[in-house]
Structure 1
Amino acid sequence: MAFTAMHAERGRLDASRDDLGCGWAWAAVHRARPRVPLTCPECGHGVHAKLSPARMRFFAHDAGAPQCTLAGESMEHHLLKLQLAGEIRAAGWLAELEVRAPDGTWRADVMASSPNGARRIAWEAQLSAITEDEIRARTERYAAAGIGVCWVASRPRRWLELPDQSPRAPVSSHHGRRAPSAGLRRRRRHQHGRDYAGRRSGSGPPRR
């Protein structure tokens, strides 16, 4: 399961956006005949458009797919990514799901870009176990690309208190629009019955 797919001519498709991010309606790819050829941006295997019982749009891998990190993410992880993208867009910023570095050194769950494209913040829904060294290494890779990062967890984690490692993420308004961090950097977010703790680079330790 993934929220993004690649098309040879249209480029990157995002199931969380009304026009799929490429000017197409969902009907253009969902149950379309002849079938629209799409591939997974992570593993390159074929994917097809699907709807969950709750009408959530996504792309599913075709049969015989190799092991893919996008397909292995939990439903809680997917839902949190959607919530983050929605909050970022509500703040007036661009939000892209499952954005991969050109050289493959990082892949952001959600990449937030300021209205003028000058600033980027990667939002990571880190619900599985991870070491402090891994957090530092991944944060440093974002920093090398000039990208801030916010780590979001489902419960208090020791690494939420780590010193900042990447560029300061914006918190002030820009052209009358608030930065996504203005709403999302709060210590707790409540979604689907769960509380989420956030750690944003450049913000200092989260307030208790």
Structure 2
Amino acid sequence: MAVDGKSGQPHYLPDKQGNDEMVPGVTWRARLAEGMLLCPIPGCGPFGRVVAGGARRHHFAHPAGEGDHDRGTGPETLWHLSAKDVLRRWAQNHPSLADWTLHIDDTPITMPDGWRRPDVLAVAPDTNAKVAFEVQYSPLTGTDWKARHDFYAAAGVVDIWLFAHHGPQWRPATAAQRWRRDLTRSDPDWVATIQLSGLHQKMLQHGVIPLWLDPTAQMVGTATAHFHPAPSLSGERLGEDTAYSLPPRRTFPACHVAADALHQCRVDLANGELLTPARRVQREQHQRFLVDEQAAHEQAARIRARIHAEQQERTRLRREAQQERRRVTAAQAAAEQAERDKREQEKRRRTEDERACAEARQRMPLSEQFPPLFKQDPPPAKRPWWRSWQREI
């Protein structure tokens, strides 16, 4: 990157184009020869040449023996300076921050327990509102970030963190990390799938969405993921159109990065964040998700109520069937008992009749009790004695 000596605008040398024209009719080398492409390091002079050969990326360089600051700065510091300059120019031209006062590395925020000097500090003219932009290119732990975030919150300053689009804050996700239902779907506006470090997960834990800044393309990346609703009570799985683009959960190992132009972003003081178009979509999707979730809960409640009513109806029918079976069983038992009582009464009656008959027979004479079995003629009358001597003729 080089800074225009007249306008102060940054110029980025595209790779493999060091021998081409900067603008129609003017080459990069010709502009350098005029001394109008300055080094972005404060206090440094113009670049002296364009390195456009070999395997290295085409870039600006100082003449031999000049620009010794390169030993102590390196490409990361140049990127950092470029990012701060891009943020400053964006804030100066943004309508919502047009009247704000901008400070670049020159205004510390002091508290009783210490002080912090943000990379870019925007101060409102009529209120005490302050926005601190931190461009993080070097490694940072989640614990250190939390301490800085709490410091800014205690000072009443909105802190917006932007990470580098290369280096330790930008590590592409592995194949195993990509194999998640939340990450398998791709979108044209999602430029990459990036690992979520402990720092990023710490930010998500406290409701801060990680952002990345590419000063060359002046693009801002927003951490996002593709969420699918859980299956309904009936086991039905909803289709792809019911998925939501939401911030990743803090337990995710990786996330998608949705890219948006910096000029389309604005500072949301109410929520304390840089509102990118992707973040705006996330908010809308979150509201839709809440509405759909409420509708799903109501539908689930209706399903549970219907299931409960059906269970109660089955219970009632089962109880009625049991009562009917008990009634039929009782009726059958009563009928069987009545039949047994009837047979018992009949048996007692027969027994009593037999006893009465036996008693009656006992009172009868033996001749009546035991009548002769056969009828006999009466015995013949005895002949008188005076006839015994008469011969029978």
TM-score (norm 2): 0.28
More strand by share: 1
TM-score (norm 1): 0.49
- Flag the structure with more relative contact order, 1 or 2, with Cα contacts below 8 A and sequence separation at least 6: 1
More helix by share: 2
